[in-house]
Structure 1
Amino acid sequence: MSLTSTAFSPQVPTGPSAADLLRRGREHYRRGELKDAIALFQAGLALVTMMSIATATDMAADLHAALANAFMLCDDLDSAAENYKAALRLAPHLVACWCNLGNVHLKTGMAQQAIALYLEALRLNPAHRPSRTNLVQALVATRQYVLAQVLLGELIEEVPDDASLHAELGKVCFELKQIEDAIAHFERAAVLAPERADNLYWIGAIRQAIGETEAAETAYERAVRLHPVLRRPATRSPASFRVLALFAPFVGNTPIAYLFRDCAYQTDILSLSPSIRPDLASLAREADVVVNLVCDADQGAAILPLADEIARRLGKPVVNEPEKILRTTRDATAVALAGIPGCRVPRTWRIAAGQVLPLPGSELTFPLLARPAGTHGGDFFARFEDRDALTAFLAERASEDRYLIEPIDYRSADGRFRKYRFIFVGEQMLPYHLAIGDGWKLHRDSTDMASQDWMQREEEQFLRDPKSVFTARHHDVLRTIGSRIGLDYFGIDCALDDQENLVVFEVNASMLVHDENPDFPYKDPFVRRIKTAFDAMLARRAGAMPELGLN
């Protein structure tokens, strides 16, 4: 019997290799079939464990990088970050992975950490363009505008016809208060990308702010016709929720430069125009909460009914309902707040355009204050001691409505005037600033507080402990005022007279809140508290967080 010897050898796998799975996964990725791509990349990583160390390292790094890219497109940022880090542990020379890991940090609100990752990518490859452009975004997010400006200048030298770079440089120049340069870059961006409405909105807003009304109107009209909605993406992905803000060019709007900055929610700003009817069904699908920004009942009298109609038809929760804004003229507010114990509201008369003295049914007692309707601050606001002087003022402004206001002496015991501002946010009542001066027409920017330490200490004490100035009785009065006004977000300027009554000057949603206080750094935490409360209020109204009982 002859025996045939059989040689035994290990079986060779007949399935696809890790390289095959990587190639096939990339094909699915390019077609947008991300789930299939992720499954193939993960299968490839499972096979890598069976390969020799020499060949496995590079293959595993490529698979982790490809898997991370797919997770990024799926908005699974945690998984993306985990895989980018795994790829870099195996292959720290992968420039794109450093850049993309920076993108993950930028999307999740960690801009400072993103900067370090972009810089590492640029250390490996100083010419890597995605790292340079994304570094600009991170520098802007951390308000390092000078560095962003330098980098944008270099990028524009290389690609002078890139509209997005000019637009970004326009924003940076605006933040640096280089207004003419900002306009020039936005105008260049508008020429290079005429289909982009956002550049025209910027031009309109800047020209309006510097008083170039006709040019601003032209820019706004072009922008609204191109696209009535300006989108501000969230600082992270996915956005926590979505806000639709109703905005009306050339009438009073709630100042939002600070409130809508660095938000975890997406903000779409709809410019209202009687001649353009937006697609409300589409807007409703893209919104969780509506914020009405049209806040001046005098300036916005013609557009507020349109805002009210749109807000109602969208069928979403509304912050600062337009119908309530219409009831916040100075004369209507004086009537609404009359009769509150411990509260003094100046009597206020409205003089219609073309109307002259005397007012029917009223005996005027001098002195009196007068100002045009729809104005704030000290512009065209004066005190008159007799009828002749007042009549001359009213005649000069005869083409517009005007207010006559009873003056109230609110001097403190030391002879100075003190005006306090609270911001109401939902159920919270938060201190914002104190102005101390020597005259009755008191505005924070015209005071000497920047050079007076004692004034700053007094303001800081008020911010830290409002109850050191306003007693429980005063807080009850303020709460009653908030209830009668009925808005979700608004401010009140007030004082205390010599009898400790609360004196009310102005109550509306037009009051400015900002964080540019280099001379008053102690204000920063209290300003941030207002924005935190504002963001939380929107989140609750959008259903993104539970309703809370706040004091």
Structure 2
Amino acid sequence: MTSSSMALAQPSGDTPGIADMLRTGREHYRRGEIRPAIAVFQAGLALAATMSIGVAVDGVADLHAALANAFMLCDDIGSAGENYRAALRIAPHLAACWCNLGIVHQRSGKMQDAISLYLEALRRNPGHRPSRTNLVQALVATRQFAIARTLLLELLEETPEDAELRSRLGKVCFELGETEDAVAQFEQAVMRAPEQAENFYWVGAIRQARGELEAAQAAYAHAARVHPILRRPATQSPPVFRALALFAPFVGNTPVEFLFKDCAYQTSILSLLPGSRPDIALLAHEADVVVNLVSDADEGADVLPLAMAIARSLGKPVVNDPARIRNTTRDATALALADVAGCRVPRTIRIATGKGLPDGLDLAFPVLARQAGMHGGDVFEKLDDAAALTAFLAAHEGHDRYVIDYIDYRSADGFFRKYRFLFVGEEILPYHLAIGADWKLHRDATDMAQHAWMQDEEERFLRAPGEVFGAAHSQALRVIRDRIGLDYFGIDCSLDPDGRLVVFEVNASMLVHDQNPEFPYKDPYVNRIKLAFDGMLARFARGN
């Protein structure tokens, strides 16, 4: 089951025999005896089929609704959907069935259909609370944050003490860029439900995003004191295994909001703060496998030794060993991959904090320059001459910086293309293709939503990457995987006019998410990455 609020359809009539079976089945259901309940409900429907037409209409609708609810608890959403639809054909006034059919579609990834079903439930019963709360989830999943905020505010007017609603509103405000309101909502949630650990960490994360570093550090420290471990329960009990994730505020971490969602295993996230002295014996009970999330070798240089010490002290299998992460700075990666056959890896020179260009450095302009520890397009420029480069280095002399040879990877049609693969254990899986008119490509900043041909090309790449990347490219990717030596990481790359693989970035900090309402064709390929990740963790947990 997900966190969606399933609404039980209420009985609408009594018929001798059928009513007794409905009552008996519900007694089994309440006691958690789901399979016997299903058998009784099915027997009731079989009995109804032998009766005269029109004799037991309401009872049959109730049996279908009750049977659907039981199938939902067994995760048989296909059978659940069939029975909700059967109930609604007989009794379309059952708002709870419209709501629960919406959950079926939501769990199947059909978010827009789910929204329509929740709205139909609300047309039948405008005050139906499960439909309203589930509608919020579906709106958030389709990134309709402004509408979700309006609905959340209405719900909070009715139940202002509801900490869960305040937490959801905080997340929605954050997505809308209303960070001050987001912090206020999370702080209200903390006051009302101090046992909910996630809200404490959200306060720190948002204050960090706002640049309020002292306040963020204080918030994280408070969170770590109150909830040193952030636990996320498995979708089943008992969990198939337990994963302990090592996370470091203020440094780059592997994004796992999607990867750790709806897992059959329990996840426990330990925040590594300056001066952390975690109880190793206690942590050992939290873990069958350790997942190191500290992924940025530049930003995480000070905390990686702590992550490494904890991982080794636990004596458990480790995904993305911190010792290997330390070797994935941009300059170290460029050196490690410089001689891979069929690849073009731009030379990358590190300029230490406070230093300028070294004497005698041979550069061919234009060049790229970026601040160490930054990702995406932040503090990253193409510079046409030495004066511009010198000015950039001086403007950011408080940090280490990289100077990178520029490779013109423009395709024959004048567009730039950047492909992302995820390495998950032994698998190399396509994640996305960004197409744009500018050399600095970031998938979410392109206008691909307005161009069907771009979407078609991305879908073809995801479906058949071998049509773009041939056998030589695949071999180069396998060599890259072996040389980097991590269990989970990504690569951003392209092809130059001569067909050689151009490597831009290789690290474990790359984002994978399932929030793609404008590009539904991506869903199966994104989900494939999660399935591979879950399977990899399971193998580590088993020790193989």
> Which one has a bigger Cα radius of gyration?
1
Aligned length: 504
Contact map agreement 2:25 2:37 (CA 8 A) in 1: yes
Counterpart residue number, 1:480: 479
Counterpart residue number, 1:226: 227
Q: Which runs of 5+ in 1 are unaligned?
A: 1-15, 545-551
1:535 aligns with 2:530: yes
**CA offsets 1:73-96 (integer angstroms, 9 cap, x no match):** 343434433443343343333332
Q: CA deviation at 1:251?
A: 1.0
What is the one-letter code of the residue matched to 1:213? L
User: Do the aligned partners of residues 96 and 280 (structure 1) sit closer, same or farther apart at CA in structure 2, a change above 3 Å counting?
Assistant: same
Contact map agreement 2:420 2:491 (CA 8 A) in 1: yes
SS at match of 1:185: helix
**CA offsets 1:333-352 (integer angstroms, 9 cap, x no match):** 34423444666656667677
Counterpart residue number, 2:423: 425
SS at match of 1:115: helix
Contact map agreement 1:462 1:469 (CA 8 A) in 2: no
Contact map agreement 1:304 1:323 (CA 8 A) in 2: yes
Cα separation, 2, equivalents of 1:28 and 1:517: 40
What is the one-letter code of the residue matched to 1:304? L
Cα separation, 1, equivalents of 2:465 and 2:38: 56
Q: 1:275 aligns with which of 270, 277, 281?
A: 277
Contact map agreement 1:372 1:380 (CA 8 A) in 2: yes
Counterpart residue number, 1:181: 181
Cα separation, 2, equivalents of 1:316 and 1:137: 36
Once the two structures are aligned, what percentage of the paired residues are identical? 51
SS at match of 1:428: strand
Q: TM-score, normalised by structure 2?
A: 0.70
User: Do the aligned partners of residues 208 and 18 (structure 1) sit closer, same or farther apart at CA in structure 2, a change above 3 Å counting?
Assistant: same
Cα separation, 1, equivalents of 2:179 and 2:219: 16
Counterparts of 1:66-465 in structure 2, within 5 Å, are: 66-224=66-224, 225-226=226-227, 228-229=229-230, 231=232, 245-256=245-256, 260=259, 268=267, 270-273=269-272, 274-277=276-279, 279-280=282-283, 283-284=286-287, 292-308=292-308, 319-340=319-340, 365=361, 373-376=372-375, 379=379, 397=398, 402=400, 408=405, 410=407, 422-426=420-424, 427-428=427-428, 430=430, 432-433=433-434, 443-444=440-441
Cα separation, 1, equivalents of 2:509 and 2:20: 62
Contact map agreement 1:231 1:266 (CA 8 A) in 2: no
Counterpart residue number, 2:508: 509
What is the one-letter code of the residue matched to 1:481? I
Q: CA deviation at 1:130?
A: 1.6
Counterparts of 1:482-501 in structure 2, within 5 Å, are: 482-487=481-486, 488-492=488-492
**CA offsets 1:414-469 (integer angstroms, 9 cap, x no match):** 9x9979564343443757446766xxxx7447xx9879x99x98x97999699999
Cα separation, 1, equivalents of 2:368 and 2:51: 87
Counterparts of 1:42-53 in structure 2, within 5 Å, are: 42-45=42-45, 48=48
Q: Which runs of 5+ in 2 are unaligned?
A: 1-15, 540-544
Contact map agreement 1:432 1:526 (CA 8 A) in 2: no
Contact map agreement 1:462 1:468 (CA 8 A) in 2: no
Q: CA deviation at 1:495?
A: 8.4
Q: CA deviation at 1:517?
A: 10
Q: CA deviation at 1:199?
A: 1.9
Q: TM-score, normalised by structure 1?
A: 0.69
What is the one-letter code of the residue matched to 2:421? I
User: Do the aligned partners of residues 509 and 543 (structure 1) sit closer, same or farther apart at CA in structure 2, a change above 3 Å counting?
Assistant: closer
Q: CA deviation at 1:296?
A: 0.9
Cα separation, 2, equivalents of 1:80 and 1:199: 34
What is the one-letter code of the residue matched to 2:423? V
User: Do the aligned partners of residues 195 and 513 (structure 1) sit closer, same or farther apart at CA in structure 2, a change above 3 Å counting?
Assistant: closer
Cα separation, 2, equivalents of 1:491 and 1:267: 28
Cα separation, 1, equivalents of 2:29 and 2:499: 70
User: Do the aligned partners of residues 241 and 123 (structure 1) sit closer, same or farther apart at CA in structure 2, a change above 3 Å counting?
Assistant: farther
Cα separation, 2, equivalents of 1:468 and 1:31: 55
**CA offsets 1:456-486 (integer angstroms, 9 cap, x no match):** 98x9799969999999877765553343223
User: Do the aligned partners of residues 17 and 215 (structure 1) sit closer, same or farther apart at CA in structure 2, a change above 3 Å counting?
Assistant: same
